[in-house]
Structure 1
Amino acid sequence: MKKVSTLWVLLSVASAAFITAVSTGGAGENVSPVYGVSLPEGYRNWRVITVAHEAGQNNDIRAILGNDIAYEAFRNRMLPFPDGSVIVRLAYEFKSSPENDAVFPAPQSFVAGAPTNVQISVKDSKRYSESDGWGYGQFENGIANPSVPLVNSCYTCHQKLDRSKDFVFSHYSP
């Protein structure tokens, strides 16, 4: 119990500084509409939480990464996520690989193709209280997508999830 309490204290202190860095931006900065979320510095070096394949219209494959706060929350099954948690989804076209399939007895290999977008979820229960504590952003080629309806659709989907999962689709895959 003491280990979990100490971890929560450390996460709380770290989250205050991190939230400011990720979710605030002045005029002219590369931030998403509605929530003001920006691409966190160094996010491509964060640890992998899981991978996902979205079929249907998206037909993409995603690597889900988390900052240290989110990663530890996923790993230790701490819900709700502490403020300062940031989850990043790197999405790529889901492509068959003829080169790899040539090695196998039947077509079976799929790989990440061209990147499609980067989606960011930032937990700040005060700033994003109207969206259950989460702020969202989507970026294509490193540029914030300016579509308010698109960014609003993030919360629309996430709020359909069970509140006990803190409105997060992913789960930790060790």
Structure 2
Amino acid sequence: MEIKRLSAAGLAIATLVFGVAATWPKQEVQRSPIYGVELPKGYRDWQVISVAHEAGKNNDIRAILGNDIAMKAYRQNIRPFPDGAIIVRVAWQYESSPRNDSVFPAPQSFVAGAPTNVQVSEKDSKRFAKTGGWGYAQFEKGVADPSVPLIQSCYACHIKLDAIDKQADLVFTNYSE
């Protein structure tokens, strides 16, 4: 009798929980304005293309990652990049490390601090024909930045590279072996 009562209570609680959960608003996939580019699932497991430090206003340290299509294009020096190539730039604040420096004879250690944002470049020559085949996005804490002027500035900057290196296919990062 006791087991039946517990089972009935458990069933009632489960029904209540699932019933309430079904009424919660569904989260839509976050997409960038203009291009509709999403934050790729599993991108943190992608291979490293290169790393970079940008001084000045950003003062960040970056890891540039690529999906399998991008990595194959990099390694085989295929340009333009094929459709489906995705390049992700993950950035953190560039900070000195007092902890590490306490071990060294002079201050010299810099590390990734707090995350700043993730930028995504996705190649699709048909979808993004007006921007050289690339669509762009920026995410903060996994949420697409809704700023249209910010996202428009991506292509405006990348197209400048075309004037000095048409073979780059609007991509700043070279593969670091």
TM-score where L is the length of structure 1:
0.83
Backbone CA RMSD of aligned residues:
1.1
Cα offsets for 1:32-62 (capped at 9, x unmatched): 0010000111111000110011110000000
Letter in 1 for 2:87: I
Runs of 4 or more off by more than 2 Å in structure 1? Answer: none
Matches within 5 A, 1:108-127: 108-127=108-127
Q: Distance in 2 between matches of 1:149 and 1:167?
A: 19
Shift of 1:76: 1.4
Match of 2:166 among 149, 160, 163: 163
Q: Distance in 2 between matches of 1:66 and 1:29?
A: 21
* 1:94 alignment counterpart: 94
* 2:77 alignment counterpart: 77
* 2:3 alignment counterpart: none
Q: Distance in 1 between matches of 2:134 and 2:91?
A: 20
Q: Secondary structure of the residue that 2:107 maps to in structure 1?
A: coil
* 1:134 alignment counterpart: 134
Shift of 1:107: 0.6
Shift of 1:29: 3.1
TM-score where L is the length of structure 2:
0.82
Matches within 5 A, 1:138-153: 138-153=138-153
* 1:65 alignment counterpart: 65
Q: Secondary structure of the residue that 1:155 maps to in structure 2?
A: helix
Shift of 1:28: 4.5
Over the matched positions of the two proteins, sequence identity in percent amounts to 66
- Report how many aligned residue pairs link the two structures: 148
Unaligned runs of 5+ in 2: 1-26
Shift of 1:163: 2.1
